[in-house]
Amino acid sequence: MPGKKDASSSACRWGKRSIRVWEKGDGPDYRSIFFDIQLDTQREGRSCGMCGIVGYIGTRKVVPILIEGLRRLEYRGYDSAGLVYEHGGRLVKYRAAGKLSNLEAEVDENIGVASHTGIGHTRWATHGAPTRDNAHPHSDCTGELVVVHNGIIENYGRLKKELEAKGHRFASQTDTEVLAHLIEEYLDDDLVTAVREALARVEGSYALGVLWAGDPDTLVAARNHSPLVMGVGEDACFIASDVPALLPYTRQVIFLDDRELAVLSRGSYTVMDVDDGAVLDKEVRTIDWNAAMAEKGGFKHFMLKEIYEQPQAILNTVSGRIVPDTGAVELPEIGLDDDAIRSIRRIALVACGTSWHAALVAKYWIEKWAGIPVEVDIASEFRYRRLLLGPDVLTISISQSGETADTLAGIRLAAELGSRVVTICNVVGSTMTREADGVIYTHAGPEIGVASTKAFTSQLAALFLLTLYLGQVRGTMDPATGKALATGLVGVATVIEEELPRMQEQIRVLIEDYYDARDFLFVGRGLNFPIALEGALKLKEISYIHAEGYAAGELKHGPIALIDRDMPVLALVPRDSVYQKTVSNVEEIKARQGRLVLIGTAGDEHLARLTDDVLYLPPVHEELNPLLYTIPAQLLSYEIANRRGCDVDQPRNLAKSVTVE
């Protein structure tokens, strides 16, 4: 057998049609077409692992196909990668931490091996640090069965304990490895039956590829709440987590729906129901996308794609952390026992930029529902004053990357002063998560656009979960209220998903009167004041329009001097506890001929009397307005920047992570 073996080895029911994605101005609008695809493929399954899967079985050499497929999916995950192929009745596995180039170097000498079946994976970590041992594919005890997986197995802890008691040996920290051992437990001589029986035990989301040395002419795939697409050729079949991996080889695809399983061989396939084994008739679709648009899921920019991914990102963040029957929140990874939580006398929230705005929202939540005083610090200023920290102060850092230099320096100083540290972060294994006492992962998946969108709303979701948990443990929130708020958090994701296309279409028309503005003000009160700050930040980041956010009540303390008929003002005016105060501030703007854009609650006719430019949103629980009202602010910034011809995904002078002070 050539090569070296890895040391660890031992919703979519569309009408039949061709799909084409156009750029704006060339045929139908690309947004509406993509949203049709997005809803159909993910309506039933809202949580979605953001890793990249590719698989092939056919007559061509498999390794170049796997490498090229992973290269086209690397935007979905880039902390480790791996592949496995069948050769001479055995499975040969390669894995590497870091970028895909590291895997390519590992497998280089066997790039042309005469193997025709294999699976590959590029990872965005959700369980376990981004190391070689945690990289996919994962094996069973024998090393003869391997699995690649996107998604989150919510009951993996219970399954792992059960399998360990039966003698199974685990080599990684991932939830995925449980699947390999669970399939092994049921495997006799029928791989398909073993996969179906294993999946009957699984709770959570998955897109799977499974290979077994005992049946090397079969590749099994399955999907639940995580996207998976099959490619069909004359003498080959493919699987991938996204269309780009398939484009060099076929445009004929089948989108699997939730709880469907596919059995692939050379040039033929069968799709069946996971639960009852019934064979399903799936229609083959023709994809006509260019590679760049396919990588972005049909969107013109990554930022817009990531705006539309927010409902899933929010639900990924809360998935497995809320007990459905009671609404109780479970955060075992927080690293604090109940006595430690009850002993907290103060919380210090430390963050930069967009994450700082999330912290400002959390201050309102935590003080109201957990009864703990909260200070919010910009990380770049945090350690340049005398910090009054100690064992009774909890320091919470918020960072998408977990590598932000200022925030990292701040939590190190806090730890030196005796404060316990918890980090809210999107990147498993990042420096901040390794150095903290506890962590709450947001599970938003990779965010490619420099301007943060889904990372922000996922941070809000994580901070709201933390608020509920603190109130629950400290007894400051009654169970009925906690359940209502937890239910509302899950529900707001559905509201966002349903409202996104309408919001975008209305905003795309509205911005024609505003895209050439030189300045812009955003105002809000209470929970929506930080959202005004965030909206202004987004606009200045990607459109280069000077924009400022203010607490609406502060207008008369200076900013109102700027108001005239040339000054656009976006005001967030939901029907909440400060509604009358905010309306009064808006009327002051109107009296000075300010150009008003209002975002408020559906049915509020008073707003329509103040301006023609009103965007109405459905009512949600007042505490959750920040998540909902963030979306139109993001869309406004995106549409203005796009209209001005700006580089939306890579605005000038900005980087995704600030890793130097």
* Class of residue 43 by CB neighbours under 10 A (exposed 0-12, middle 13-18, buried 19+): middle
Lowest-confidence segment of 138-142, 383-387, 537-541 by average pLDDT? 383-387
- From the list 58, 75, 177, the residue with the least C-alpha distance to 123 is 75
Predicted pLDDT of residue 444: 87
């180039």: which residue's tokens?
Answer: 101
Q: What per-residue confidence (pLDDT) applies to 291?
A: 61
For 333-383, how does the pLDDT look when each residue is reduced to its tens digit (9 = 90+)? 999 999 999 999 999 999 999 999 999 999 999 999 999 999 999 998 998
For 43-81, the pLDDT digits (tens) are: 223 233 467 899 999 999 999 999 999 988 876 666 889
- Displacement of CA 490 from its chain's centroid (Å): 15
**In which band, very low, low, confident or very high, does the pLDDT at 34 lie, cut at 50, 70 and 90?**
very low
Q: What is the pLDDT of residues 451-491, one digit of tens each?
A: 999 999 999 999 999 999 999 999 999 999 999 999 999 99
Q: Which residues are catalytic?
A: 51, 656
Q: Which of 440, 453, 472, 485 is nearest to 349 (CA)?
A: 440
State the Cα–Cα distance between residues 661 and 658, nearest whole angstrom.
7
Say how far apart CA 439 and CA 1 lie, in whole Å: 43
Measure the CA dihedral 47/53/59/64, to 10°: 160
Instruction: Decide if pLDDT at 450 tops 90.
Output: no
The chain-wide mean pLDDT, for the chain, equals 86
In this predicted structure, the answer to whether residue 405 has a pLDDT above a threshold of 50 is: yes
* pLDDT value, residue 395: 96
Tell if the pTM clears 0.75, that is, is over it: no
Q: Are strands 268-273 and 260-265 parallel, antiparallel or unpaired?
A: antiparallel
Helix, coil or strand: residue 379: helix
Note the residue count of the chain: 661
- What was the pLDDT predicted at 342? 96
Structural domains of the chain in order of their starting residue, each with its CATH number = 49-295 (3.60.20.10), 307-496 (3.40.50.10490), 499-643 (3.40.50.10490)
Residue 542, C-beta contacts closer than 8 angstroms, at least 6 positions apart: 303, 451, 637, 638, 641, 646, 648, 651
∠ Cα 299 303 304 (to 5°) = 45
pLDDT tens-digit series, residues 87-143: 999 999 999 988 888 999 999 888 889 999 999 998 877 667 778 888 899 999 999
The dihedral sign for the CA sequence 269, 275, 278, 283: negative
